[in-house]
Amino acid sequence: NPALTQIGAQMSKLTGVRAIMKDIIETLRAGAGQQFINLSAGNPLILPEVEQLWRDCTAQLLASPEYGEVVCRYGSSQGYTPLVEAIANDFNKRYGLNLSERNILITPGSQTLYFYAVNSFGGYTPSGELKQIVLPLSPDYTGYGGICLVPKALIAYKPTLDIDEAAHRFKYRPDFSQLSITEDTGCVLFSRPCNPTGNVLTDDEVKKIAALAAPYNLPVLIDSAYAPPFPALNFTEMTPVFGDNILHCMSLSKAGLPGERVGIAIGDEKWIEVLECFQANIGLHSSRYGQAIAALAINSGALVEISHTVIRPFYQNKFSVLETSLEQAMPKDLPWFLHRGEGAIFAWLWLEDLPISDWEFYQQLKQVGVIIVPGSTFFPGLEEEWAHKHQCFRISLTGTDEEIATAMQRLAKVAEEAYKGA
């Protein structure tokens, strides 16, 4: 083993769902002859209309005199100016904001943006105080688990559960009786819509969190990777919430451009400047080709249009297929609860009092050719023991309708056996 620094050792570990992905890849490789229904993917599907949009924008870029400027030259750390302007114009018009270019930063994917942010605002201050990175509602995005250079700075809070027993549905809510944002907090971070649960915090819940943070002059990062206006993967009404202490963070990955790595931060100039300097030190700037085609798709309105007419209905329909299949297949007397499908590209299933662990259930499901993700990896920052962490599963909506239906039938059988065996 190479001699590594503390940070080297920490960053070279696979965290969260990446560790499980390794097991999944090995399973798929080892079972070459076996047909698996793989509902583990975090990768969005390639939708033909969306691919065509990016192809058309690329053709337009190739034909324009701007091409050389885009790919043959370095640019500013803040981002490619036409993209920054396109976002400012679009958001000012759409949401009645007053953004200037200084309020916007483009990063190579939003994962990178969270790395800059949590390490700028969370961790040790020069005087040795530990500033916490607060996740107000756990479970949340597994990727938050690997980005803090001071891991103990990450603190997550257990939610409360709204349970509809008769309908076999539930929904997480922030537990405001526990959530603590104080002078020890460095920043607040959550995804809305949420990966893995599909939860959408209400506008009021978001405003309440922002208000709790307001006295401390710290940013509330709202990870809007699935939010409107693009990719608009919300199946319930939601309005992006802006405010003086909110850093609104977006990604083009779920709008068909994950390979190009485009993340966007919108917020107060003083924070954008910090993140921009961090980016200049780490990697100068994002790749400009992705930014240039994004500028074209935003300015023409095509990206918003295709988000609403293609991307959202596609995944919303997958969720209905999953919901219907589970309802038909699951025995009524089992305590199964599906999280309300309010957005994103996943379903989140809770098997209350499951007699085996989520990991064991995942292994048993593999035996019948179905792969989903055990839920315990989606609680970064929540150290305390909580049985619920081992009773949940993330099911990706990226299968075909038939695959989803078959997988839910097999899952129902495995669940029935597991409860019976208790």
What is the DSSP secondary-structure string of 226-251? T-TTTT--BSS-------TTEEEEEE
Q: Is 377 in the site for ligand PLP (CB under 6 A)?
A: no
- Checking 152-156 for CB contacts under 8 A at 24+ apart, the result is 153/118, 153/122, 153/123, 153/186, 154/118, 154/122, 154/380, 154/381, 155/381, 156/379, 156/380, 156/381, 156/382
Q: Are 37 and 403 in contact (CB under 8 A)?
A: yes
The two beta strands, 130-135 and 169-173, are unpaired
Nearer CB in complex with ligand PLP: 111/291? 111
Q: Is 195 in the site for ligand PLP (CB under 6 A)?
A: yes
Selected from 147, 154, 187, 225, the binder of ligand PLP by CB under 6 A is 225
Q: Which residues pair with 247 in a beta bridge?
A: 221
Q: How far is the CB of 144 from ligand PLP (least distance, A)?
A: 8
Nearer CB in complex with ligand PLP: 151/258? 258
Q: Are 172 and 161 in contact (CB under 8 A)?
A: yes
Q: How far is the CB of 261 from ligand PLP (least distance, A)?
A: 7
Q: How far is the CB of 362 from ligand PLP (least distance, A)?
A: 20
What is the DSSP secondary-structure string of 322-354? HHHHHHHHS-TTS-EEEEP--BSSEEEEEETT-
**Contact mark string toward ligand PLP, 120..159, x via CB under 6 A:** ---------------------x-x----------------
Q: CA-CA distances (angstroms) from residue 142 to 32, 176, 212, 303?
A: 28, 22, 24, 27
Q: Are 285 and 75 in contact (CB under 8 A)?
A: yes
Give the interface segment with ligand PLP, choosing from 104-112, 169-177, 206-214, 274-282 (CB under 6 A).
104-112
Q: How far is the CB of 225 from ligand PLP (least distance, A)?
A: 4
Q: Is 258 in the site for ligand PLP (CB under 6 A)?
A: yes
Which tokens go with 392? 């949940």
Selected from 42, 145, 146, 290, the binder of ligand PLP by CB under 6 A is 42
Q: Is 109 in the site for ligand PLP (CB under 6 A)?
A: yes
Selected from 111, 197, 199, 307, the binder of ligand PLP by CB under 6 A is 111
Q: How far is the CB of 294 from ligand PLP (least distance, A)?
A: 12
Q: Is 266 in the site for ligand PLP (CB under 6 A)?
A: no
Which tokens go with 235? 């199946």
Q: Is 253 in the site for ligand PLP (CB under 6 A)?
A: yes
Interface residues toward ligand PLP, by CB under 6 A: 42, 109-111, 141, 143, 191, 195, 223, 225, 251, 253, 258, 263
